[in-house]
Structure 1
Amino acid sequence: MKAIVFDAFGGTEVLHEAEIGIPQPGPGQVRVRVRAVGVNPVDGKIRSGAMGAIFPTTLPAVPGGEIAGVVDAVGEDVDQPKVGDEVLGWSDTGSYAQYALAPAAVLAPKPAGLDWANAAALPVASDGAERVLDLLDVSAGETQLIHGASGTLGTIAVQLAVARGARVIGTAGPANQEYVTSLGATALVYGDNLVQRVRELAPEGVDAVFDAAGKGALEDSITLRGSTTRIVTTADFRAGDLGIVFAEGPQRRSAARLAELAEEAADGTLVTTLSATYPLTEAAKAQQASDAGHNRGKIVLTVD
């Protein structure tokens, strides 16, 4: 099968197309004929070697862990899903490939009204956003500040926080202010005088801060909170030095919750925005765009 592989850690130039063996599902696994792949910032960090302590990687490696596709083989003890079922979820093997293995327990059915690219945009972002909101214990009536509100994770986090009844202030670049507003947040341009501008919007203060941007906003976040409590980042590696929680724990990978959110995405209740789509052969370009940041929504690879 065709796959994207890297044989050394480094920039996107280490990614190349290769012909490798088709994986065979073991007990509890299914094999998915991949139709779309979510490209996540962590993919580039693993490729560069920056996440070696958290995600040990044996080379050569196939990047990625987020898929949407059709089940084409099942291992022992698998009753559901069945061969021919359309699914989305997480893979055990790298997902930048024509086929990937996945635990049957972490795959959700793809609704007919949800296309492949938007299906692939959902698992990692929804899981990560909900995990951080739970860490922050966000509840109705609170004010939540989200940095990077227009990005892959921020897009979903804003909507899930609003659904919990929170008031959300979302920071993003000038070009994404209307987009953040459309998600249900009060939009704010990141940058100079952020503390003052947030306080003008929320003179009563902010109850929790989710940094999905990693653009140096942690110090301002501490000032706004008056402490380091109820601040979580998924993007700023300085967190430990500042006494901030870095959300690096294992994914929950709940198929039941993913199925609920997929239905919401299919009927338009939950917005899954695509920043760009690339064919699998252009995975290096996709990761370049992801590494650069400032993307509105999700970057996806499509697989023929």
Structure 2
Amino acid sequence: MNAYLVSHYGPDGLQHATLDQRPPGPEEIAIRLDAIAINPLDWKIRNGWLDEMIPLPLPAVIGSEGAGTVLSVGADVTGFAVGDRIAGFIDSGAFAETAVTRAARLLPVPAGLSTEQAAALPTAAETATRIYALLHPEPASTVVVNGAAGSVGSMITQLLVRDGHAVIGTASADNHDYVRGLGATPIGYGPALVDDLRRLAPAGIHAGYDTTGHGFIGRVTDLLPARRIVTIVDFAAAAQGAIVAGGDPTQLTITAAVREVFDSAARGELRVSIAASYDFDALPDALALSERGHLRGRVIVRGKGRESAGV
């Protein structure tokens, strides 16, 4: 199979290779990857920034999520059949033509979602629903989301708006209209951030979700106690009292809340944004775009396996 693997850490460490794919184990599924989502985790791993948290036996295929078609199932797998459209988290690395992953990390793609949309959803759905539950705001709260245009940020923003909260979302100026379209009030990241929050929330802010970092928690502590903020990026903020929603990304599974997000998106109740799409041969370009940041949703790579199958 065609694949990209990290031969060494650093910006030039991603190499194209042709590899053999092992068969699935008893609780695993082999899939043809028809769409691969680029996750910021991927280029952080390639750069070697997470080598202590996620050690890799280099060379290694990376890539954490995608969608595709079931090729074969392990002896103990139920609920999936050859030919099913599926999406989820990829154990063997998603930057490849085919992959093997645990069945518990996959779910069927509901009708109404494209393969590209399904590939963009697993991490956004899992992370947004998990951090929402960690700090569930009181009804009709005013909430700030730092990084409201990103994949996770836009999902938590939509869940909060759906439930009747007033959401203020930080975003770059180019993404303000997009954030408005999600039902939130956009503000910039710049020097006026705190003044904008005071102006828009004179009665106070009740909770915050930090999906992009850049010192956000330290900047807003006069308006919002750190203990009322969940962050997925600022691991040092635990010392300030913030709730750090870390965990091992290699162990994420499909929860009932993730299934609900997929079903809601399929019904058109939640927006799934694709920032850009690339062919498999241009995957390094897709990774570079994600690394530059300030995107609306996920960058998607069309799977090489899909091309080989004539899809």
TM-score range, shorter chain: over 0.9
Inter-partner Cα distance in structure 1 for 2:72 and 2:142: 47
The gaps in structure 2 that reach 5 residues or longer are none
Contact 2:126–2:255, Cα closer than 8 Å, also in 1: no
| C-alpha distance after superposition, 1:81-126 (max 9, x if no partner) | 1111111111111011111112112211112321111110000011
Given that 2:145 and 2:169 are in contact with CA atoms closer than 8 Å, whether structure 1 keeps it comes out as yes
Deviation at 1:259, TM superposition (A): 2.9
Q: Conserved in 1, the CA contact under 8 Å of 2:24 and 2:72? A: yes
1:77 aligned partner, one-letter code? D
Q: Distance in 1 between matches of 2:58 and 2:197?
A: 45
**Residues in 2 aligned to 1:256 and 1:76: alpha-carbon distance in whole angstroms:** 24
- Backbone CA RMSD of aligned residues: 1.6
Superposition pairs of residues 197-208 of structure 1, within 5 angstroms: 197-208=196-207
Q: Does 1:298 align with 2:298?
A: yes
User: Cα deviations across residues 231-279 of structure 1 (Å, max 9, x unaligned)?
Assistant: 1222235424544333212455225433322222222111000001111
User: What count of residue pairs does the alignment treat as equivalent?
Assistant: 302
How many angstroms apart in 1 are the aligned matches of 2:94 and 2:255?
Answer: 18
CA distance in 1, matches of 2:55, 2:207: 31
Counterparts of 1:127 and 1:28 in 2: how far apart (Å)? Answer: 21
Corresponding residue number in structure 2 for 1:42? 41
Distance in 1 (CA, whole Å) between partners of 2:48 and 2:239 is: 21
Deviation at 1:163, TM superposition (A): 2.1
Q: 1:210-225 maps to which residues of 2 (within 5 A)? A: 210-225=209-224
Code of the aligned partner of 2:278: Y
Which residue number corresponds to residue 146 of structure 1? Answer: 145
| Structure-2 separation of matches of 1:111 and 1:264 | 10
Q: Which amino acid aligns with 2:233?
A: A
Question: Please, what TM-score do these two structures have when normalized by structure 1?
Answer: 0.94
Which consecutive unaligned segments of at least 5 residues does structure 1 have? none
| CA deviation after TM superposition for structure 1 residue 130, in Å | 1.3
Q: Closer, same or farther in 2 for the Cα pair 1:220/1:119, shift >3 Å?
A: same
Distance, in Å, in 2 between the alignment partners of 1:26 and 1:255 is 22
Amino acid across the alignment from 2:176: Q
Q: Deviation digits for residues 119-176 of structure 1, max 9, x if unmatched?
A: 1000001111111111222342111100110011111110111223221110101111
Q: Deviations over 1:38-96 (max 9, x none)?
A: 11111111111111222122211111111100000111211221111111111111011
**Superposition deviation, residue 184 in structure 1:** 1.1
Give, in whole Å, the separation in 2 of the partners of 1:6 and 1:56. Answer: 12
1:133 aligns with 2:136: no
After TM superposition, the score normalised by the length of structure 2 is: 0.92
Q: Secondary structure at the match of 2:222?
A: helix
Partner of 1:164: 163
Measure, in 2, the Cα distance between the counterparts of 1:253 and 1:22. Answer: 22
Whole-Å separation in 1 of the counterparts to 2:8 and 2:194: 42
Distance 2:287 2:144 in 1: 27
**CA distance in structure 2 between the aligned counterparts of 1:210 and 1:131, rounded to whole angstroms:** 11
Distance 1:64 1:241 in 2: 31
Identical aligned residues as a percent: 38
Q: Is residue 53 of structure 1 aligned with residue 52 of structure 2?
A: yes
**1:67 counterpart letter in structure 2:** G
Rounded to whole Å, the distance in 2 between the matches of 1:139 and 1:77 is 43
Counterparts of 1:250 and 1:49, CA distance in 2: 16
Which amino acid letter does the alignment assign opposite residue 286 of structure 2? A
